[in-house]
Amino acid sequence: MILVTGGAGYIGSHACLELLLAGHEVLVLDNLCNSSRRALERVEQLAGRTLQFVKGDVRNRSLLTALFAAYPVSAVMHFAGLKAVGESVREPLRYYETNVSGSIALCQAMAEAGIFKLVFSSSATVYGESAMMPITEHCPTGVPTNPYGQSKLMAESVLRGLANSDPRWSIGLLRYFNPIGAHESGLIGEDPNGTPNNLLPYMLQVAVGRRRELSVYGDDYPTPDGTGVRDYIHVVDLVQGHLKALERLEQVNGVSVWNLGTGKGYSVKEMIGAFEAVIGRPLPHVIQPRRAGDIAQCWSDPTKAAIELGWRAERDLSTMLADAWRWQSRNPQGYAETQPARQGATAQTALAS
Ligand code: NAD
Ligand code: UDP
């Protein structure tokens, strides 16, 4: 059985689905601070199988101990965390506590229970403003400019120290580039709270009429068309990389770092053009000044994951955008509305606190 912390969230819910489809038993721990139970009900609907759900906090050591005593967990995918850059500047301690202390509490409980396989959600943000492009895993980590990025780098350091101290650990640090898209069914997808920080969720909300226009943050970057360039990766490709990493951790000990990206960068203007082609109409947008803390460009060299995991992102940009649009247009208010939630297939255990 795989414990998926943060399994009700955007990436975690897609991971739960792929794990179920691959035949794994799945236990989700999530406090639902940024997600909905409905996501898990839809995962079960798509998989045709149930999972176990415990509502609780990853910082709660005694809950973790009780979970590991009650379920035959063999490995953990650790998605639970906070991810809003701006919020992390306003509330740094909450970010360090959740993203760093939460990871420490999880590892302590895992070690106590004799579980030593961990797949960790890291981010390309740990590279900072890389002088080298594309970014390989050998590029030095940078100095993240906000507590969110710092918390990911700190958590990576904690996990490295842990693996150095005890050879039983097998830890995969997965550095995500820019996950977008949704499951092709349109039943699960990204449902951010409040105003979206990220480009695609904002574009989607403009397209369904929840926001007036997209702000393009800067058209004076040293990039081909002046707008920021990123490596967007389909969330289903991303989580398939997690399953490959999990397999690989059966064979290697210590810490392994893998970039999960496509190796190709697209500018904001290219994203708008490709999205307009999907929705068949113009997307209202306006050029604004640069956003503080943004870098000009960032894309991966995903060769290491290809060689060591036998994994490669397969879905192209138009598929990412079409899948994201299917999700958003069928669920304009995310999980908050529309299709009635299926009643109670998800088992919730008495351990929930
Ligand atoms: P998300 O917010 O949709 O999912 C995170 C989940 O963790 C949510 O369901 C939330 O309720 C849960 N959670 C938060 N704090 C918790 C706590 N203390 N205890 C238990 N559950 C808790 O975010 P996501 O986009 O799915 O991201 C998943 C992970 O990937 C995060 O660690 C994030 O930092 C990392 N990541 C995301 C991106 C991205 O662009 N989405 C990029 C790089 C890394
Ligand atoms: N961006 C934008 N308008 C928005 C959100 C993002 O122009 O409303 C730009 C941003 O400046 C960057 C790219 O889109 O060049 C991706 O931003 P996102 O926040 O999605 O990812 P990150 O910057 O964290 O890689």
pLDDT in tens, the chain (353 residues): 999 999 999 999 999 999 999 999 999 999 999 999 999 999 999 999 999 999 999 999 999 999 999 999 999 999 999 999 889 999 999 999 999 999 999 999 999 999 999 999 999 999 998 878 999 999 999 988 899 999 999 999 999 999 999 999 999 999 999 999 999 999 999 998 889 999 999 999 999 999 999 999 999 999 999 999 999 999 999 999 999 999 999 999 999 999 999 999 999 999 999 999 999 999 999 999 999 889 999 999 999 999 999 999 999 999 999 999 999 999 999 999 654 444 444 444 444 33
Predicted TM-score of the model (pTM): 0.96
Does residue 247 lie in a domain region?
yes
- Residue 60 CA to residue 69 CA, distance in Å, equals 14
Ligand 1 and 33: CB distance under 6 A: yes
- Residue 167 CA to residue 14 CA, distance in Å, equals 31
Give me the domain span that covers residue 216.
2-348
Does residue 139 lie in a domain region?
yes
Those residues whose C-beta lies under 8 Å from the C-beta of residue 193, and which sit 6 or more positions away, are: 34
Q: Minimum-distance ligand to the CA of 223?
A: 2
- Give residue 8 CA to ligand 1 midpoint distance, Å: 9
- Residue 307 CA to residue 256 CA, distance in Å, equals 13
Q: Minimum-distance ligand to the CA of 220?
A: 2
CATH code of residue 129:
3.40.50.720
Q: Which of 230, 297, 321 to mutate to test the pocket of ligand 2 (most atoms within 8 A of CB)?
A: 230
How many domains does the chain fold into? 1
CB 341 within 8 A of CB 41: yes
CB 146 within 8 A of CB 85: yes
In the residue annotation, 148 being an active-site residue is answered as yes
Does residue 353 lie in a domain region?
no
Ligand 2 binding pocket, CB closer than 6 Å: 178, 197-199, 202, 214-217, 228, 230, 268, 291, 294
- Give residue 76 CA to ligand 2 midpoint distance, Å: 30
